[in-house]
Amino acid sequence: MIKRCILRVLALALAAVLLMTSSGLALTLRYPQRGSNISTLQTALTELGYYSGAIDGVFGKGTRTAVRSFQADHGLAVDGVAGPATLAKIETLTGIQIGDAPAASEKPADPPVNTDAPTTSGGLFGGVYTTLQFGSQGDRVRVLQQALKALGFNPGTVDGNFGSGTYVAVKEFQKAVGLTVDGKAGKLTLTKLESYFDAQGNLISGPIVTAPPAYETPTRTLRYGMSGLDVKYTQQRLAELGYFDDTADGQFDTATQQAVKAFQRRNRLSADGVVGAKTIAALFSDDAIRADAEASATPTPTPTPTPTPAPTTDAVLYRTLRYGDSGADVALMQRRLMELGYLNGTADGQFGSITLTAVKAFQRTNGLTVDGVAGTKTYGVLFSDAAIRAEAASTPTPTPSPTPQPQDPTDPEGIPERNLSQGDSGNDVKSVQKKLIALGFLTGTADGQYGSATAAAMKAFQQMNSLTASGEGNQSTYVLLYSGNALNSMGVKLGQSAPAYTNLRTDATGPAVIRLQQALVKLDYQLTVTGVYDDATFEAVRSFQALNGLSVDGVAGKNTQTVLYSGNAKKFPTGGSSGIYGSMGYVAPPAKSQIQLLHWTEDVKGSMRDYQAFLVYDPATDISWSLTIIARGRHCDVEPSTKADTAAMMAAFGYKETWTPKPVYVRLPDGRWTVATTHNVAHGVNPIKNNDFEGQNCVHFLRDMSETEKNDPNYGVTNQKALRDFWYKLTGDTIPYK
């Protein structure tokens, strides 16, 4: 129980107070000092929002500016020197002790305590409010866990290890009591927690919550490999509806993915296991269908002379159906097509080629756009009394023209008189192909065969010119295609010069964006051509930049576009064995002969530049991901380049955040391979947005052990030992101590 741990914590508190009195408050830090105390100061200033540089233990100009800003805001002498008054104020606001005691981020083991020490008042934590965060260990973490559990917040196993369960529980507590929700138990969080207990560690009143907290609707798309409170709320909601029977731990694992798919199938959504906008809306609505609900939400229709019952509900007509889709809504559409004579067989709920042909035939007969896509307009006619039956069509063939080849075969340059789609052939197809070739959307020769390449080129033309992008030829498309006003693949009219490259960024629109998207799609980057520089485009550009050795910022500037349109740009690779890769796709491991032992300051640091990207390959899992350089101090501060890289990195670490160094191979920007160690805990500044990683992490390259022991004696030494062990296992060679 909590009371038994208080005795030990109070003794620790007394020792900490003596330490603070003897060292911390007498300390003065100033430019240009170095050391672990500077690192702790930088960490505290970062938490307070005054410092955004690297946590490198160097009291440089950036640190001095941050100290001055802090002093000005808190009525202190503005001299840029962190003296006793300044340090005392910082410690009071953050709970981070700046002195001889190591920073909390270094995860020190708790010192031995005397369990027989006399008790004094001071609350659960004995007056010691050093920040506890992910990776912290010891009795104070155990007290934190027990207190959270007593108040109704589940931290998981009470083991003294600040893991993901404790992190989520702290965030839930902070939210419940109106504190900043960051998952760190600093002074404000710890003192607020203490206020619910008396001096003996007994609850003053009952738990804050007696049931799981109210659900929050997620604001981002959730998918396999992600984590967070929104994932936990999703799991809790799925459990409430009977789809999920595992622990709601905030980790989007295989069980969660299967539960999402089951919910989607039951609620007539696309069963892709991704919690997007439609799934979120359905899942958190009052109309969500439970797993144990009746198998059919539609009453059985009264038997009629017609063997196939007519559809009687609009409940499944909310989404557009196209080739490859499946579900109850597809089956409903198939039954209606069968009733009208356009489809034979069974309504199997699979939108295959036969169903596609039936939809197109219905659209032709009923005067709709013949694209094979069942959208709002097609539904409106299909389920109306005015729908024309197949046997009532004016002609036995779906072609509206009475002649199968409406164009004069001797006039291949004329405007087609019929709609064209895949499988058609003739001089009118050849005429369309010539126009598409002249405008740069199609390569090769005009052969008169409307194949997949012609359809793709037609779709690209339609997208560039703001037409309905069906990929089929129709009269509205022909009007522009055969005019002098059509935009070519460069986004300009024929005869005009190509536009200068302008920076394209989020929310940009227009032909330049369409051209960019089309070029990325051709290189297999995952996005849809919309003409709007959306999140998918932003991520695709970042992936492209990472793979092609460009600065990774998600902005398509001159350098990015020059490479993209050069004809030599690298495609998004596919393949591999383990199935989870970052923006680089699958990367084969280097041969042993390629791996060099490179020194951080002598060989690596100077060859890099900030916001360059490099590749990490994990030999333990065969997973690779891209990291973008944020800063270069005694080690390399980085962030995952894209969401895909964050997902790959988390998969390599088994979806658990840990400071334990992982040995990896690194392919540097100049192509050399070397060894390093890394972790996956987000901390510090967060310059890269939209990558699902709220902070930075670190990569440690080889350093001299004597220098590391002097300047980075805790976590730095831990990484150097791990790197040396890895190199010995890899080569059998021992790295000199130096």
Domain-located, residue 609: yes
pLDDT, residue 216, reads 66
Is 70 exceeded by the pLDDT of residue 310?
A: no
**129 and 31 in one domain?**
yes
Q: What is the DSSP letter of 699?
A: E
**612 and 537 in one domain?**
no
Domain termination site, one of 194, 224, 257:
194
* 723 and 676 Cβ atoms separated by less than 8 Å: yes
Three-class SS of residue 476?
helix
**CB count, 10 Å around CB of 293?**
13
Candidates 294, 329, 334, 332; CA nearest to 311 is 332
Of 197 and 574, more confident:
197
Print the SS3 string covering 10-64.
HHHHHHHHHHHHHCHHHCCECCCCECHHHHHHHHHHHHCCCCCCCCCCECCHHHH
Q: In whole angstroms, give the CA distance from residue 69 to residue 320.
A: 55
* Residue 174 identity (one-letter amino acid): Q
Mean pLDDT of 310-321: 48
Q: In whole angstroms, give the CA distance from residue 491 to residue 541.
A: 19
**657 and 515 in one domain?**
no
Of 525 and 672, more confident:
672
Q: In whole angstroms, give the CA distance from residue 46 to residue 62.
A: 11
Q: What is the DSSP letter of 91?
A: H
Is 70 exceeded by the pLDDT of residue 507?
A: yes
Domain-located, residue 295: no
Domain-located, residue 421: no
Report the CATH number at residue 600: 2.30.110
Question: Rounded to two decimals, what is the model's pTM?
Answer: 0.38
Count up the domains in the chain and report the number.
3
**52 and 182 in one domain?**
yes
**153 and 69 in one domain?**
yes
Q: In whole angstroms, give the CA distance from residue 610 to residue 179.
A: 35
**CB count, 10 Å around CB of 668?**
19
Domain termination site, one of 156, 173, 194:
194
Report the CATH number at residue 143: 1.10.101.10
The domain of 185 spans 2-194
Three-class SS of residue 728?
helix
**42 and 136 in one domain?**
yes
Of the pLDDT bands very low, low, confident and very high (cuts 50, 70, 90), residue 400 is very low
**48 and 188 in one domain?**
yes
Domain-located, residue 517: yes
Domain-located, residue 225: no
Q: State the first-to-last Cα distance of the chain, in angstroms, to the nearest integer.
A: 48
Of the pLDDT bands very low, low, confident and very high (cuts 50, 70, 90), residue 294 is low
Mean pLDDT of 695-723: 93
Q: What is the DSSP letter of 200?
A: T
In this structure, of 66-70, 160-164, 165-169, 313-317, the range with the lowest mean pLDDT score is 313-317
| Element containing residue 629 per DSSP (H, E) | strand 623-632
What does the pLDDT look like over 412-441, one tens digit per residue? 456 787 888 888 888 889 989 998 998 888
Q: In whole angstroms, give the CA distance from residue 670 to residue 96.
A: 40
**616 and 528 in one domain?**
no
pLDDT, residue 311, reads 38
Strand ranges inside 134-256, DSSP E: none
What does the pLDDT look like over 259-276, one tens digit per residue? 999 898 888 888 888 888
Average pLDDT value for the chain: 79
In this structure, of 154-168, 509-523, 689-703, the range with the lowest mean pLDDT score is 154-168
Domain-located, residue 540: yes
pLDDT, residue 571, reads 84
Residue 458: is it exposed, middle or buried by C-beta count within 10 angstroms (0-12/13-18/19+)?
buried
Domain-located, residue 419: no
Domain-located, residue 185: yes
Strand ranges inside 53-205, DSSP E: none
What does the pLDDT look like over 96-154, one tens digit per residue? 888 743 333 333 333 332 322 333 346 788 788 888 887 788 888 989 998 888 888 88
Is 50 exceeded by the pLDDT of residue 309?
A: no
**165 and 42 in one domain?**
yes
DSSP per position, 507-563: T-BSHHHHHHHHHHHHTT-S----SB--HHHHHHHHHHHHHTT---SS-B-HHHHHH
